[in-house]
C-alpha cells in the first residue's frame, strides 16, 4: 500500500540572534509558522529490510539525504528498543517543490514527515516528544515540524512555546541561489547580541531578521528581491535565506502583486498555517 504524506514549508516570521555558545551554536529567538505549500512524500512499506529512495535529489548522496537519515535513525532506535522492526523496509518517493537552501525548512520537514509517517506505518508507537528528540539529532528545525504547531523557538531552536500569530497570505520569492547556513552564521558582521525578550514584547514589536543584512550583503539577488518586494508590502528574509516573503492580508492582494513580478523572480503564493498541513491531514 502506498501512503501520501504532506511535508510543508515554514517561515521564520522573525529571527533574532541573542548569543553564541562555547560549542559554536547560536542562541536565538524565532517565530515559526507553517505554510500551506510544500513537498509530498510517499511511503510503500514492505518486509525486505531495506530503506530505498525512489527518486533521490540531485547532487545529494543517499547517506546525506535527511529522508534516508531519518528513516535509518528511526529503524535503528526501533531495533535497539526491541520493537520488532528488524525486517521492516520502505520505499520512499518525493515530489519536491520547496527549494533547497531556501530557508523554508524543506529538509527538516522531510525528516519530520518521515519520522511521523514511519512511526505510524511501522507501528512503533513512539511519542511525539521521543520523535522530536530523535529529530533534533538531524537538525534544530526538525522538532517544530514534529510538534506541528506555530511556535516561538529559543535556545538553538529546540525550546518551543506554541503561539498563534495571524495566518496571513504570503508572496514567497526565491532568488535562484542557495545559501548554506554556515555562510551566514560564520560571518563576522552577523549581529549576535540582540536582547532576549519575553513573548509579549516579541509579538508586539515590529518583526525583523538578524540574518537579513548578511544575506543582502553577500547575495546580490537577495538584495534585489527585497528591494522590489518592499515597494508593495512588508517583506523579510526567512531563516538564513535565500527565500524572502512579503505579507498580505488577503489572497487577492498577494496574487495581484504576483502578476507584477519580473520574469527573473521565482514566486508562489501561500497562506500561513498555525497547524501544520501534515497534522491537519492526520486529524481528518
Whether 74 and 142 map to the same domain: the answer is yes
Condensed to tens digits (0 to 9), the pLDDT of residues 81-112 reads 998 777 889 999 999 999 887 899 999 999 99
Whether 140 and 44 map to the same domain: the answer is yes
Whether 158 and 179 map to the same domain: the answer is no
DSSP structural state of residue 187: -
Whether 41 and 140 map to the same domain: the answer is yes
Kindly state the helix (H) or strand (E) to which residue 111 belongs, with its residue range.
helix 106-121
Query: Of 163, 179, 214, which one is at a domain's C-terminal end?
Result: 163
What CATH number does the domain containing 11 carry? 3.30.230.10
In a domain, 279, yes or no: no
Evaluate if residue 197 carries a pLDDT over 70: yes
Evaluate if residue 120 carries a pLDDT over 70: yes
| 82 backbone φψ class: left, alpha, beta (φ>0; ψ -120 to 50) | left
Whether 24 and 91 map to the same domain: the answer is yes
Query: Of 163, 196, 227, which one is at a domain's C-terminal end?
Result: 163
Is 139 in contact with 111 (CB distance < 8 Å)? Answer: yes
- For the chain, what is the domain count? 2
Whether 159 and 237 map to the same domain: the answer is no
What CATH number does the domain containing 241 carry? 3.30.70.890
Is 151 in contact with 257 (CB distance < 8 Å)? Answer: no
Residue where the block lists cell 522492526: 85
Whether 177 and 138 map to the same domain: the answer is no
Residue 215 is part of which domain span? 169-273
Give dist(CA 56, CA 93) in Å, integer. Answer: 8
What per-residue confidence (pLDDT) applies to 283?
Answer: 84
Bond preceding residue 242 cis, omega within 30 of 0: yes
Confidence grade of residue 264 (pLDDT, cut at 50, 70, 90): confident
| Partner residues linked to 152 by β-bridges | 31, 161
What per-residue confidence (pLDDT) applies to 1?
Answer: 54
In a domain, 280, yes or no: no
Residue length, the chain?
284
DSSP structural state of residue 158: T
Confidence grade of residue 257 (pLDDT, cut at 50, 70, 90): very high
Higher local confidence (pLDDT), 87 or 258: 258
Catalytic residues: 10, 141
What per-residue confidence (pLDDT) applies to 86?
Answer: 74
In a domain, 284, yes or no: no
User: CA torsion, points 83, 86, 90, 92, in degrees to nearest 10?
Assistant: 80
What mean pLDDT, rounded, does the chain reach? 94
Evaluate if residue 2 carries a pLDDT over 60: no
Whether 233 and 179 map to the same domain: the answer is yes
The percentage of residues in the chain with a pLDDT greater than 70, rounded to a whole number, is 98
Condensed to tens digits (0 to 9), the pLDDT of residues 50-73 reads 999 997 776 777 888 999 999 999
Amino acid at each position: 500500500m502506498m501512503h501520501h504524506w504532506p511535508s510543508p514549508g515554514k517561515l521564520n516570521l522573525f529571527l533574532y540572534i541573542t548569543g553564541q555558545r562555547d560549542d559554536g551554536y547560536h542562541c536565538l529567538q524565532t517565530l515559526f509558522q507553517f505554510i500551506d505549500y510544500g513537498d509530498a512524500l510517499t511511503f510503500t512499506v514492505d518486509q525486505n529490510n531495506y530503506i530505498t529512495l525512489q527518486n533521490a535529489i540531485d547532487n545529494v548522496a543517499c547517506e546525506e539525504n535527511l529522508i534516508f537519515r531519518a528513516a535509518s535513525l528511526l529503524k535503528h532506535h526501533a531495533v535497539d528498543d526491541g520493537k520488532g522492526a528488524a525486517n521492516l523496509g520502505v520505499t520512499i518517493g518525493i515530489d519536491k517543490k520547496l527549494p533547497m537552501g531556501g530557508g523554508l525548512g524543506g529538509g527538516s520537514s522531510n525528516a519530520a514527515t518521515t519520522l511521523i509517517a514511519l512511526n505510524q506505518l511501522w507501528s512503533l508507537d513512539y511519542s511525539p516528544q521521543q520523535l522530536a528528540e530523535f529529530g533534533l539529532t538531524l537538525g534544530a528545525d526538525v522538532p517544530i515540524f514534529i510538534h506541528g504547531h506555530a511556535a516561538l523557538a529559543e535556545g538553538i531552536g529546540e525550546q518551543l512555546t506554541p503561539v498563534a500569530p495571524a495566518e496571513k497570505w504570503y508572496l514567497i520569492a526565491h532568488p535562484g541561489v542557495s545559501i548554506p547556513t554556515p555562510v551566514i552564521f560564520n560571518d563576522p558582521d552577523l549581529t549576535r547580541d540582540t536582547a532576549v525578550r519575553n513573548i509579549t514584547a516579541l509579538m508586539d514589536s515590529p518583526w525583523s531578521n538578524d540574518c537579513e543584512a548578511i544575506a543582502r550583503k553577500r547575495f546580490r539577488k537577495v538584495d534585489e528581491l527585497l528591494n522590489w518586494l518592499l515597494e508593495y508590502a512588508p517583506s523579510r528574509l526567512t531563516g538564513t535565506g535565500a527565500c524572502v516573503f512579503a505579507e498580505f492580508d488577503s489572497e487577492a492582494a498577494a496574487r495581484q502583486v504576483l502578476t507584477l513580478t519580473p520574469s527573473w523572480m521565482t514566486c508562489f503564493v501561500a497562506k500561513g498555517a498555525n497547524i501544520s498541513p501534515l497534522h491537519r491531514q492526520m486529524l481528518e
